[in-house]
Amino acid sequence: MTALIAGAGIGGLTAALSLHAAGIEAVVVESAREIRPLGVGINLLPHAVRELTELGLGDALAALGVAAAEIVHCDRHGREIFSEPRGVAQGYRWPQYSVHRGELQMLLLSAVRERLGAAAVRTGTRLTDFEEEAGGVRARLLDRATGATVTTAADVLVGADGLHSAVRARLHPDGGPLLWSGIRMWRGTTRAEPFRAGRSMAILRDGDTQLIAYPIGRDRLNWVCQVRESAPGPLAGEAGWNRTARAADVLPHYEGWRLGGLDVPALLAGGGEILTYPMVDRDPLPAWGRGRVTLLGDAAHPMYPVGANGASQAVVDARVLAYELARADDAAQGLARYEDARREATSAVVLANRTMNRADGRTPYDLARITDTYRHTTGSDVDALNARASLTPRRLDTSAI
């Protein structure tokens, strides 16, 4: 069995590692000519850390990220309203890590090349189209360096090619628009002294303006500014993830804000490159794929980042994909079981993130209720996760294939 994965992001690379662990050959094609450690900070929740640990990456993650110990909600002056533990301190068997997205991607890329071989990831190669055929899929690939188009065959095709997925567009040409929350986001990292115990995630809020900050290692604080600009609705225009902005665009919203000993305007002004984009998602799909083609991660279920769950859900997708393919009688059956296991679960997360984004928690009681409801709705309660069976699949007997 051979799987062709479109997209070398966190989900696609984790899928390659997971399939390889199950004895399934995987090849990843990536449109970018060079994979570089781009982006800013993200969080890996315990359910994702568990899966990456079972792939043998636990020590590397511990060296890369910061194990979050708590989340604290404050007002614009840094006065605490509510706090609760995170990760192991909360009772999970696995930590919650705050990491630089690009550095995590490079860690996964290195592991794929080491375990699957250097040719397992083909950069500068864009999937443009595909067609199903008897017993497999034939994909058309564009070599961005030469402009030549070649076709390649695989038993399954996995679209892990992000928010603007070519695989999704081919499967669901009328899949609906990107939906904007009405919130504009600015993101950056700044070298700064840690606040509180150095392993805290802070959320400061004043009306429709919010700041999220947390350490991601090497004396860096990741920060996210969120400002409501309009009512929710379909997004007019493109949602680019690498658009830059000036500090002057965001600073007026945070005049006088503080977080412990940190001057928030100084934190934002010292961030170097600032990325800006709208907070968007899509309505959940009634089905992801068909036959021997499926979707994974943002291609399947783009979601608001308010639950810190996007990358984590992509990791779990990848692990369930490999698990179901490893135990299925044929590839199409395995993909159907994968979708059955993940589509409703991730739809619940998409909708829970919307609900959390609308929630107006002002008191400790409100904030505790909101976070407890979110964990229950998304299936990430401490006891439920700690008791969940492993997704590590048996290796396939490839001699019979």
Residue by residue, pLDDT tens for the chain (401 residues) are: 999 999 999 999 999 999 999 999 999 999 999 999 999 999 999 999 999 999 999 999 999 999 999 999 999 999 999 999 999 999 999 999 999 999 999 999 999 999 999 999 999 999 999 999 988 999 999 999 999 999 999 999 999 999 999 999 999 998 889 999 999 999 999 999 888 889 999 999 999 999 999 999 999 999 999 999 999 999 987 776 678 999 999 999 999 999 988 999 999 999 889 999 999 999 999 999 999 999 999 999 999 999 999 999 999 999 999 999 999 999 999 999 999 999 999 999 999 999 999 998 889 999 999 999 999 999 999 999 999 999 987 554 433 32
Give 337's strand partners.
Answer: none
Eight-state DSSP code of residue 137 = E
Say if residues 68 and 185 touch (Cβ distance below 8 Å). no
Token pair in block for residue 64 = 């890369």
Residue 300 lies in a domain: yes
Residue 40 lies in a domain: yes
Residue 14 lies in a domain: yes
pLDDT score for 400: 32
pLDDT score for 272: 86
Residue 261 lies in a domain: no
Token pair in block for residue 87 = 């990760």
pLDDT score for 175: 82
| Run of H or E residues at 276 | strand 274-281
Residue 249 lies in a domain: no
pLDDT score for 320: 98
Measured from the Cβ of residue 196, the count of other Cβ atoms closer than 10 Å reads 18
pLDDT score for 397: 42
Is the pTM of the predicted complex or chain greater than 0.75? yes
Eight-state DSSP code of residue 401 = -
Measure the CA angle with vertex 266, ends 260 and 268; round to 5°.
Answer: 100
Strands 233-234 and 179-191: antiparallel
Looking at residue 8, which CATH number applies to its domain? 3.50.50.60
CA 372 to chain centre: 21
pLDDT score for 401: 29
Residue 220 lies in a domain: no
Say if residues 322 and 394 touch (Cβ distance below 8 Å). no
pLDDT score for 194: 82
Residue 49 lies in a domain: yes
Helix H segments across 175-327? 247-250, 264-269, 310-327
Measured from the Cβ of residue 46, the count of other Cβ atoms closer than 10 Å reads 25
The domain of 314 spans 2-177+282-400
Q: How many domains does the chain have?
A: 1
pLDDT score for 240: 67
pLDDT score for 396: 46
pLDDT score for 197: 83
Residue 383 lies in a domain: yes
d(CA 96, CA 155): 35
d(CA 85, CA 97): 13
Which amino acid does the sequence have at 92?
A: Y
Measure the CA angle with vertex 244, ends 141 and 78; round to 5°.
Answer: 125
d(CA 127, CA 20): 21
Say if residues 243 and 288 touch (Cβ distance below 8 Å). no
